[in-house]
Copies of this chain bind each other. A is one copy, B any other.
Amino acid sequence: MSLLVTGTVAFDAIETPFGKTDKIIGGAATYISLAASYFTKDVSLIAVVGDDFPASYIELIKSKGISTEGLQIKEGEKSFFWSGRYFNDMNSRETLITELNVLADFDPIVPASLAQPEFVMLGNLSPQVQLTLLERLTNKPKLVVMDTMNFWMDIALEDLKKALKKVDVLTINDEEARQLSGEYSLLKASRVIREMGPQYLIIKKGEHGALLFHGDQVFSAPAMLLEDVFDPTGAGDTFAGGFIGWLALTNDISFENMKRAIIYGSAMASFCVEKFGTDNILEIPREELMERVNAFKKLSYVDIV
């Protein structure tokens, strides 16, 4: 099934206790589309970069079969740049630099050839831009998944609430779920948030796994125990890409299949954090991915009653 992905395509510079990088390829839409490309070959990007963005990076994206027809390249402008430093626990980080550059006035133009996607993944961006993209589609997609973050809850809550009305699945972390709902109990929070629009809610808990809520059903996915988390950058986006990639591949948006999609997303994310940036999600052999998925299944399996 066709999958349309929007979000940032950008430069990241990352510091972790294990080392630091120069400007490397990053951005939510980059991680999402790379991860999704393992599952479905019909992936298209809607994003914007400046003319400083290396052709080799665009070639890398294309080499995974991802269409860059919707990737705008702004002459004389610079790409979005984020730089951050992770602390020892890898769960907290500080932003060192945010240069919006081309993102400041990003207009998500959707070429006619891409305007009828079956699956849509709205990576983290201003809710206004996410909504504009949805409004430009000429069909109603089978499934719209949106990722967002506390930043937009702080400065654009009304826009966010407007966008949420058009969304089927929302992915946020536990602190964000508490902020958005005003409830501490995640069970209560999940109900409040789903009353805002999305029928499905995924709460990402990092090293503690992920939760999926729908109706009265809940699924709790474990997190893989890793020797080291080398660089968490992009883990949430890689998770989202694996999640929607699996759904697009199987064309099945039942709760049971979303549970599988969460495991595939978690497996992809567990590879992502083992090296810097996108390094570890460019060439995952199929057997290794399936081994990881099996390890996830085994991790939480219990033969009881």
- A164 CB to nearest B CB, Å: 21
Most chain B CB within 10 A, of A184, A263, A294, A300, is at: A300
List, in ascending order, chain B residues with CB within 8 A of A220's CB: 209, 222-223, 225, 299-300
Q: Which of B90, B223, B256, B302 contacts A260 (CB 8 A)?
A: B302
Asked if A211 is at the interface (CB within 8 A of a chain B CB), the reply is: yes
Q: Which of B89, B184, B205, B303 contacts A256 (CB 8 A)?
A: B303
Asked if A55 is at the interface (CB within 8 A of a chain B CB), the reply is: no
Question: In this complex, what residue of B is CB-closest to A229?
Answer: B185
- A296 CB to nearest B CB, Å: 8
Asked if A293 is at the interface (CB within 8 A of a chain B CB), the reply is: yes
29 A-B pairs (CB sep. < 8 Å): A90-B184, A185-B226, A185-B227, A185-B229, A187-B227, A188-B227, A205-B208, A208-B209, A209-B220, A218-B225, A218-B299, A219-B299, A219-B300, A219-B302, A220-B222, A220-B299, A220-B300, A222-B222, A222-B300, A259-B302, A260-B304, A262-B302, A263-B302, A263-B304, A296-B304, A297-B302, A297-B304, A300-B302, A301-B301
Asked if A253 is at the interface (CB within 8 A of a chain B CB), the reply is: no
The 7 A-B residue pairs whose C-beta atoms are closest, nearest first, are A220-B222, A208-B208, A300-B300, A187-B225, A259-B302, A260-B304, A220-B299
Asked if A88 is at the interface (CB within 8 A of a chain B CB), the reply is: yes
Asked if A186 is at the interface (CB within 8 A of a chain B CB), the reply is: yes
Question: In this complex, what residue of B is CB-closest to A17?
Answer: B184
- A4 CB to nearest B CB, Å: 26
Question: In this complex, what residue of B is CB-closest to A303?
Answer: B256
Q: Complex formed: what's the CA distance from A219 to B303 in Å?
A: 12
List, in ascending order, chain B residues with CB within 8 A of A303's CB: 256, 259-260
Whether A184 contacts B88 in the complex (CB less than 8 A), given A222-B300, A297-B305, A299-B220, comes out as yes
